[in-house]
Structure 1
Amino acid sequence: MTSYQGIALAVASLFTSLAGHALAQVTPVAEPPAAKGWKLETVADGLPQPWGMAWLADGRVLVTGKKGTLHLVEGKQVRDIPVDGLPALFTGGQGGLLDIAVHPADQGPNPRIYMTMASGTEDANRTVLVQGVFDGKRVHGIKTLFTASPAKSGGQHFGSRIVFLKDGTLLMSIGDGGNPPARVGDMLARDQAQNVGSHNGSILHLSAEGKAAPGNPLAAQKGALPELWSIGHRNIQGMTVDPQGRVWASEHGPRGGDEINLIEGGKNYGWPLQSYGMDYKTREPVGKQVVPGMVQPLVVWTPSTGASGLAWYTGQAFPAWRGSLFSGGLATEDIRRVAFDAQGKVVKQERLAIGKRVRDVRQGPDGYLYAITDETRGSLLRIVPQ
């Protein structure tokens, strides 16, 4: 084993320890200082309410549109891509065509495209995972791989980020179903996040075919659904995997308390029993800030950023940023950089003011950070050195 490998394993062990044990109460951060040495470039404009983006092997970018459209960015040009056979799309509130990923093994023509979406009606809708094939002109052969259960009503909290793991399986976030007074069955929708008989308020671990991945750590619990990977989540809209295979997620809190978490299978992340936010109507705290047996976040933002897409930076353009997380902000119209030391402690936060609602943040194959803006006619932006 090389010294580098030894250090990497030690750091991975420390991060795993952080995820697996309760931490001390976290001090929320309002607005970190401004980051320096960067500027924005506009890659493309005119994207209709974009939500997610994914790179093809040839460097082109696919971008989903919330109203059910798909777009291919080639240089500065945007081309509409027909999608044949989507299930019934629900576009109320936060619903619509949401995240997108390309199967990592598909490096040639005709890659498999994975998309998440809200499907159903105002009274009964769910988060759904679909797969199709992109032949260079259109996405066809759409099939539904997975449908979350139970159904919920209204247009809130679909979650819907997806990431592939090194073994070819994938993780998919599902929102809790909505704020009070929204109910699912005989309980408040948000209480579904502590119900192992529900997919809502969780991260799921699925095969590339949409089945429960083998060995899911919660499956042995009585009444637990076999797809569950972690529970106690409110509404994860950012998720990324770093080079060591660690999984990170950014999560919306209510009226404050947005979180960054290091995700470990089998763990409970607390919502709504543990939270740093307040109820929208009563303005009373939701749960307690520290609950034994539940994982504490690494970062808490109050006021809420409206946490969106999430990226772990490994590029060469910004050497000082390598090994940092970058989290988009819808409400704060910015991107937050979170830096760690070798022990996994957060040592620095910075803010990149974008001036528009940031819906997704990703690192491109060229090593630059990219963002899409949440607008009726959104933009694909690239962050480059000043």
Structure 2
Amino acid sequence: MQRKPYWYVKWIGGAIALAIAGLAVAVYLNQTEAVPRDSKANKVTVLSGLEHPWSMAWLPDGTLLITERPGRLRVARNGTLDPTPITGVPPVFAEGQGGLMEVSIHPNFAKNRFIYLTYSHGTDRANRTRLARATFDGKALSDVQVIFEVSQAKSGTQHFGSRIVWLPDNTMLVAIGDGGNPPVQLDGDLIRKQAQNLRSQLGKIVRLNDDGSIPSNNPFANDPNANPSVWSYGHRNTQGLTFDAPTGRVWQTEHGARGGDEVNLVRSGKNYGWPIVTYSREYFGPEISAERSRPGMEDPKLVWTPSIAPSGLAFYSGDRFPAWKGNLFAGGLVSKDVRRITLDATGNVVNQQSIDIGQRVRDVRQGPDGLLYVLTDEQNGQLIRLDPKS
């Protein structure tokens, strides 16, 4: 059979992507979900004029860093956005879901001045998620080093993952997506199946030292049939990751396909099932799997069908909202809200409420002032603060 030229394959891929997006929106609009509203907060717009912001992180002095997916790192001081982006950011592959994504601060930033960036690198035909470490002097990045990159290159512009969480031992968890939806393939099979391949870093959460090296006590460090960086596996596309310090729990949200978004309590060495066990359906209709649970695979703590398209995730430990302490807060791109998720002492979900934002929510973080901050994924994106109602 004559091989189709690349421009044709790319055109077909684009048409499929548009159809998928249309179906996803249609599915959401044609179903209802009875989630009560939480009206305890006022929305205050702190900043606007951000182009598809993706992530935020505060320095010890209160300076706020914000990534914009096209490839800019912005800085805000005292509620004012500097007009000039920070220089020294590495070039990014800013197509589809790719671009400059997470920004994270080393726990000892005050001493070492290290910040970390995740981004997509490469071309339409061959790209991967990278993690870079740089020194930040308040104006520019220097000594930028790529300290980790996904070992397999993939095609397409989907499912890069990219959230970072620091653990108490100063190792970090970095989320990597499964590589994309059908018809994207790798090694002659659907790329999403790499999530169950322990030799692959796709569809995983990896654990790294702060220099990108691999901790010797990772769960598969001594397994010759696994990549030693893998910490957990069977993930589709992690878009929210947070650490609950009082209990030592790691929480994660990941996108399903058509429905089946998940909230997971993630633990070292565990398998979260994708795509063998899932509540998701193919965008074009049928089940991806008939299995919702299987021995040896971890069940989600919460499933969203229809999809909310979960994004940033925060565990609230502040005092400004006493009733919210110990709750999870998950952003929603499609639902355009923040879900407040109440947990019991054992880590099970008790209930959820919706805080309406009215824009695509890309990130949710607790600020140093004990308030929650929300980034909206729009061409004219905003930073919104949630204040207690008097």
TM over 0.5: yes
Q: State whether structure 2 residue 383 is matched by structure 1 residue 380.
A: yes
Matched, 1:305 2:304: no
Shift of 1:66: 0.4
TM-score (norm 1): 0.90
Offset of residue 31 of structure 1? 4.1
CA contact (8 A) 2:89 2:141 kept: no
Please give the secondary structure, in 1, of the residue aligned with 2:110: coil
How many Å apart are 1:212 and its aligned residue?
1.1
**3-state SS, counterpart of residue 214 of structure 1:** coil
Q: Secondary structure at the match of 1:376?
A: coil
- How far the C-alpha of 1:290 sits from its partner, in A, is 0.8
Residue 241 of structure 1 pairs with residue 243 of structure 2:
yes
Deviation at 1:345, TM superposition (A): 2.4
Residue pairs, 1:194-273, within 5 angstroms = 194-244=196-246, 245-273=248-276
In the alignment, is the contact (CA less than 8 A) between 2:73 and 2:89 conserved in 1? no
For 1:83, the equivalent position in structure 2 comes to: 87
- Distance in 1, matches of 2:100 and 2:342, equals 32
1:50 paired residue number:
53
In structure 2, stretches of 5+ residues that fail to align are 1-31
**Bigger shift: residues 340-349 or 164-173:** 340-349
Counterpart in the other structure of 1:13: none
Q: Which residue of 2 aligns with 1:124?
A: 126
1:371 aligned to which of 355, 374, 377: 374
Match of 1:316? 319
Structure 1 Cα separation of the partners of residues 172 and 388 of structure 2: 33
CA apart distance, 1:287:
4.8
Partner of 1:344: 347
What is the CA deviation profile of residues 300-344 of structure 1, one whole-angstrom value per residue up to 9, with x for unaligned ones? 011111100000001111111100000000000000011012232
Among 62, 73, 76, which residue is 2:76 paired with? 73
- CA deviation after TM superposition for structure 1 residue 75, in Å: 2.2
Which residue is 1:183 aligned to? Answer: 185
State the distance in 2 between where 1:101 and 1:345 align: 28
Q: CA deviation at 1:222?
A: 3.6
The residue that corresponds to 2:13 in the other structure is: none
- Cα deviation for residue 288 of structure 1 reads 1.3
Bigger shift: residues 328-337 or 41-50: 41-50
Partner SS, residue 320 of structure 1: helix
TM-score (normalised: structure 2)? 0.89
Unaligned residue ranges in structure 1 (runs of 5+)? 1-28
Check if 1:290 corresponds to 2:284. Answer: no
Alpha-carbon distance between aligned partners in 1 of 2:34 and 2:215, rounded to the nearest angstrom:
39
Structure 1 residue aligned with 2:162 = 160
2:14 is aligned to: none
* Residue of structure 2 equivalent to 1:6: none
Superposed CA RMSD in Å reads 1.5
Counterpart Cα distance in 2 of 1:241 and 1:136:
27
Q: Residue 4 of structure 2 corresponds to which residue in structure 1? A: none
Q: Distance in 2 between matches of 1:67 and 1:85?
A: 11
Structure number with the bigger relative contact order (C-alpha 8 A, sep ≥ 6) is: 1
Report the alpha carbon displacement of residue 163 of structure 1 after superposing the two structures with TM. Answer: 0.9
Residue-by-residue CA offset, 1:201-248 (whole Å, 9 max, x unaligned): 000000000111221112333421110000000000100001132111
Q: Is the 8 A contact 1:267 1:295 kept in 2?
A: yes
The yes-or-no answer on 1:106 pairing with 2:105 is no
Q: Does structure 2 retain, via aligned residues, the 8 Å contact 1:31–1:351? A: no
Which of 48, 60, 64 is the aligned partner of 1:61?
64
Q: Write the distance in 1 (CA, Å) between the matches of 2:284 and 2:213.
A: 39
- Pairwise CA distance, 1:83: 3.0
- Say which of 36, 39, 46 aligns to 2:39: 36
Q: Secondary structure, in 3 states, of the residue corresponding to 2:194?
A: helix
Given that 2:365 and 2:372 are in contact with CA atoms closer than 8 Å, whether structure 1 keeps it comes out as yes
Q: Which amino acid aligns with 1:107?
A: A
**Residue 277 (structure 1) aligned with residue 280 (structure 2):** yes
Letter in 2 for 1:83: T
| Structure 2 counterpart SS, 1:81 | coil
- The equivalent position to 2:171 in structure 1, one of 169, 177, 184, is 169
**CA shift digits 1:7-62 (9 cap, x unpaired):** xxxxxxxxxxxxxxxxxxxxxx9341001221101111111210010000011110
Using the alignment, how far apart are the partners of 1:31 and 1:362 within structure 2? 25
8 Å contact kept, 2:132–2:148: yes
Tell me, in whole angstroms, the C-alpha distance in 2 between the residues paired with 1:206 and 1:179.
27
Inter-partner Cα distance in structure 2 for 1:104 and 1:178: 32
Contact 1:275 1:286 in 2 (8 A): yes
Which secondary structure does the structure 1 equivalent of 2:139 belong to?
coil
